[in-house]
């Protein structure tokens, strides 16, 4: 018998429920069942042609070897230019580390920041994987509830009550997964003024349909910023992102990168440069299409009786109150999948304060969204409106 003990810390690592829904849906599809996917937060658009051509050229040019561990200098310069153009923020290429997607960037950041048992403040609900990243890095997630009637925005007075001598950072995500809501400029300023550093996941920046997203770097340099190309440029499978950090932490982040990952994919880094410099028109088309879907989905979900107190204006999610159907979002989501053949994400995936909610993604065609919501309407009529 194999007697090696499983590390205790892994007992607290939860599964990613949206993937459980997706994998169950894929099993159903193998059986010939037509499933409409409104659960997955992945762009349904093809990667822009200019990006694909740049990737092909990079391979033809022999970009198949290690780059500098912090990333291609031209890409890091392009990231700096992008933050200057969009936010008026001056950063230097030596503050940027290119990563194989945003998730490795989060891990690098936490490993460089946390001692064992250091605390990181998170919103509840919030992105499902953040607490697990923190636990794997040896830290402790501390949850601050956010509420539907407040657009799921942090309340600074509640954050202050959670700050302790062990607090190392506050994690923010705006536009937010799962809610699609933005943190207001005033709340960002208030959070930036608190006596701890900020970790800001800005992966959905650019996918904003009203107002505008602010970078935390507009208000403080006491911050780590995460961003990438998966969502805005429909480059999920190419796995390219970046971390912006204060110079104080850069050398340690670089050393961790060298040991764990060496460097990000060389050819994909060249494609990312083209994305930043040439794919603006493609992004605008995708953004306009997302907005059409957003408007339709919000209207239709309200007609079906789901609660949406404040309409989301970013990312590609709508987080709805489904308590009129069930307070058990996990079983409700799987019941909808099995009976209506529509994938949706249970709110409990995003924290205890997400229970009773469902997340719908509009990263799918308007035809599929219409058909999916029609199926859910029939499901509600059959099983709840008797």
**Digit-coded pLDDT (tens) for 304-335:** 999 999 999 999 999 999 999 999 999 999 99
Looking at the structure, tell me whether residues 100 and 167 fall in a common domain: yes
CATH code of 345's domain: 3.90.1150.10
Domain count, the chain: 2
Looking at the structure, tell me whether residues 42 and 67 fall in a common domain: no
Tens digits of residue pLDDT in 57-70: 999 999 999 999 99
Distance (Å) of CA 106 to CA 48, 95, 194, 374? 26, 15, 21, 38
The pLDDT value given to residue 346: 96
In a domain, 212, yes or no: yes
How would you list the strands of the sheet with 345-346, edge to edge?
317-321, 357-361, 345-346
252 Cβ contact partners less than 8 Å away, ≥ 6 residues apart:
112
386 falls in which pLDDT band (50, 70, 90)? low
* Mean pLDDT to the nearest integer, 187-212: 95
* Mean pLDDT to the nearest integer, 358-376: 98
**Percent above pLDDT 90 for the chain:** 94
Looking at the structure, tell me whether residues 158 and 69 fall in a common domain: yes
* Enclosing domain of residue 335: 8-46+281-383
Looking at the structure, tell me whether residues 65 and 176 fall in a common domain: yes
In a domain, 358, yes or no: yes
- Among residues 260, 279, 298, the one where a domain terminates is 279
Nearest CA to 103 out of 221, 201, 238 is that of 201
Give the helix/strand (H/E) hosting 329.
helix 329-340
Could you give phi then psi for residue 185, rounded to 5 degrees?
A: -60, -40
* Mean pLDDT to the nearest integer, 2-26: 85
Looking at the structure, tell me whether residues 266 and 319 fall in a common domain: no
Spatial distance between the Cα atoms of 238 and 240, rounded to a whole number of angstroms:
6
Spatial distance between the Cα atoms of 211 and 291, rounded to a whole number of angstroms:
13
Looking at the structure, tell me whether residues 109 and 223 fall in a common domain: yes
7 falls in which pLDDT band (50, 70, 90)? confident
Looking at the structure, tell me whether residues 196 and 305 fall in a common domain: no
**Percent above pLDDT 70 for the chain:** 99
Spatial distance between the Cα atoms of 16 and 179, rounded to a whole number of angstroms:
17
Looking at the structure, tell me whether residues 116 and 246 fall in a common domain: yes
- Among residues 256, 279, 302, the one where a domain terminates is 279
- Among residues 255, 279, 303, the one where a domain terminates is 279
Q: Residue 2 pLDDT > 80, yes or no? A: no
* Mean pLDDT to the nearest integer, 220-227: 96
Looking at the structure, tell me whether residues 124 and 153 fall in a common domain: yes
Looking at the structure, tell me whether residues 257 and 336 fall in a common domain: no
In a domain, 2, yes or no: no
Looking at the structure, tell me whether residues 56 and 80 fall in a common domain: yes
Looking at the structure, tell me whether residues 248 and 286 fall in a common domain: no
In a domain, 1, yes or no: no
CATH code of 239's domain: 3.40.640.10
The pLDDT value given to residue 1: 58
DSSP code, position 155: P
Q: Residue 169 pLDDT > 70, yes or no? A: yes
* Residue 62 near residue 246, CB atoms below 8 Å: no
């Amino acid at each position: 018998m194999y007697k090696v003990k499983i590390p205790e810390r892994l007992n607290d690592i939860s599964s990613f429920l949206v993937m459980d829904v997706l994998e169950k849906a894929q099993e159903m599809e193998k059986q010939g069942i037509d499933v409409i996917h409104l659960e997955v937060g992945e762009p349904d658009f093809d990667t822009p042609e200019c990006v694909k051509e740049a990737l092909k050229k990079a391979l033809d040019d022999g970009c198949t070897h290690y780059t500098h561990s912090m990333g291609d200098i031209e890409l890091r310069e392009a990231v700096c230019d992008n933050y200057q153009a969009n936010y008026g923020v001056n950063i230097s290429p030596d503050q940027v580390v290119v990563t194989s997607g945003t998730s490795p960037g989060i891990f690098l950041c936490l490993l460089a920041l946390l001692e064992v048992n250091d605390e990181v403040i998170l919103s509840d609900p919030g992105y499902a994987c953040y607490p697990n990243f923190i636990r794997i890095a040896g830290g402790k997630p501390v949850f601050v509830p956010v509420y539907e009637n407040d657009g799921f925005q942090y309340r600074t007075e509640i954050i202050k009550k959670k700050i302790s001598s062990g607090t190392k950072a506050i994690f923010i995500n705006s536009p937010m997964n799962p809610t699609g809501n933005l943190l207001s400029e005033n709340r960002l300023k208030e959070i930036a003024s608190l006596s701890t550093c900020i970790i800001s996941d800005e992966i959905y920046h650019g996918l904003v349909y009203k107002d505008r997203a602010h970078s935390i770097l507009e208000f403080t340099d006491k911050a780590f910023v995460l961003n990438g190309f998966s969502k805005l440029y429909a480059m999920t499978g190419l796995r390219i992102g970046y971390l912006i950090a204060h110079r104080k932490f850069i050398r340690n982040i670089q050393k961790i990168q060298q040991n764990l990952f060496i460097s990000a994919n060389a050819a994909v880094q060249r494609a990312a440069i083209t994305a930043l410099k040439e794919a603006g028109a493609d992004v605008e088309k995708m953004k306009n299409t997302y907005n059409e879907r957003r408007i339709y989905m919000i209207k239709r979900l309200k007609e079906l009786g789901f609660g949406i107190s404040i309409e989301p204006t970013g990312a590609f999610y709508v987080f709805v109150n489904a308590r009129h159907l069930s307070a058990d979002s996990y079983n409700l989501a799987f019941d909808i999948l099995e009976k209506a053949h529509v994938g949706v994400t249970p709110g409990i995936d995003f924290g205890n304060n997400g229970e009773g909610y469902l997340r719908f993604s509009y990263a799918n065609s308007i035809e599929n969204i219409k058909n999916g919501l029609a199926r859910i309407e029939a499901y509600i009529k059959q099983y709840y409106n008797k």
